[in-house]
Amino acid sequence: MVAGCVVVLAAGAGVVLERTTGLPWVDTAPAAETALFRPEPAPAPDWSPATGVLAAPADAGAAGEPEVGAVLAPTLGAAGLGGRVGVSVVNLATGDTSYEAAATDPHTPASTLKILTGAAALHALGPDHTFTTRVVGGPDPSAITLVGGGDPTLTADADGAGTRLADLAAATAQALTDAGVTTVTLSYDASLFSGPAVDPDWSPGYVPSVVSPTTALAADIQDRPADPPLDAADEFAELLSAQGIAVDGEPAEAVAPAGGAELAAVASAPLSTIVEDILTTSDNDGAEVLARHVALASGAAGTSADAGPAVVGALTDLGLDASGARLLDGSGLARGSAVPASLITQTLALAAGPDHPELRAVVTGLPVAAFTGTLADRFGDQSAAAGLVRAKTGTLTGVSALAGVVVAADGVGYAFAVLADDVGNTLEARAALDDVAAALAGCGCA
């Protein structure tokens, strides 16, 4: 996988936004360790920027070209985009709007909504935040409970990327062995989130085809288990058995005992890394989990009904005008969600600018045209936009969207969002969106 960087040139200065595995500008001391056994979290992948990706062309800065609107007009008139299109283009160097059309009208965002969810989570929780999965004991030392902390990266694969249940099982087994316990009963607690696990605003059939029930305890959620918490508990029981701890009976759902001693815990990678991965892969499950966490951070319950308004509240707290937004989930699967294109570009501009470095993962996680994630098979190696456009895709039946950042031929960085929610043919709409982004990449409009 090729990781990219964004180079935004303004007044001769370049700001490089690299994919991060942590955020060096955040200087916070780690929280004190309180677990009896707390393995170090698995190290995040060592991403490094690919040479030349999203760098400005050598002939940047040519003057005398047409305005952005004139450059985009032929592509925005494509029939494939349908009859309802919201467009916003913002100059990242100045923050000014370079072009807009119906930019403040709410449109169905599809998965471009994940940009907003990621920004809200980073603001509400902080880029270094981690999610912890624990095992606690009770009055009976042979009765243990697996407690979900809403980690969307938990995996039962010992060699998989993410937070490894195998590490938690090993640490738990060691704690039990030291206490002279060799057989246990296992309960599991996923009560951190509440309300329906399946968002009532999703179309029937989305579960399990494109998303799983949203829960605070799930392992390898992209495998779409029918009952994610029970599946995670079953996997954990097998891992315990492999460590020499017998599990008596089947795992049972129960709230962890109040004041129960923590036997072991594992922590996820930093939130910044998780946001990057969710945006790169368009992870519906991860986005839904993050939206529930934003709700909890706001003081609301961790329900789907609270998640959307909490995301809007976090964006408002950042100083963005989110008054025109109606969010019904965190992933963009809910067709009733509506977002102005201008809110997406303003969020991207804030994440790319100097005032909120904690939001940087919103930009660094965007797929790179013809290189990574959901854009790996778009634009093509010969496209003028290949390597220059970094953007989040969005697709539902009748809806196609693309939003991200680009360094144009004039050397100027732009944030853009094109939301089309009256589309007749998805493939035609996708091609038209790619043409819009490619036209912006070729813009000599400075």
Catalytic residue among 88, 98, 114, 298: 114
SS3 state at 110: helix
Check if the beta carbon of residue 268 is closer than 8 Å to that of residue 131: yes
Catalytic residue among 88, 111, 298, 304: 111
The yes-or-no answer on residue 282 being catalytic is yes
DSSP, res 81: G
Amino acid at 310: A
Bridge partners, residue 205, by sequence: none
Query: Which parts of 88-204 fold into alpha helices (H)?
Result: 113-125, 165-178
* Structural tokens at position 42: 């698995």
Catalytic residue among 88, 212, 268, 282: 282
The yes-or-no answer on residue 111 being catalytic is yes
- For the residues of 259-278, what is the DSSP string, one character each? TPPEEEEEEPSPHHHHHHHH
The yes-or-no answer on residue 142 being catalytic is no
| C-alpha to C-alpha distance for 25 and 273, rounded to whole angstroms | 15
Contacts of residue 258, Cβ cutoff 8 Å, sequence gap at least 6 = none
Q: How many residues does the chain have?
A: 446
Contacts of residue 383, Cβ cutoff 8 Å, sequence gap at least 6 = 369, 370, 434, 438
Exposed / middle / buried, residue 64 (Cβ in 10 Å: 0-12, 13-18, 19+): exposed
Active site residues: 111, 114, 282
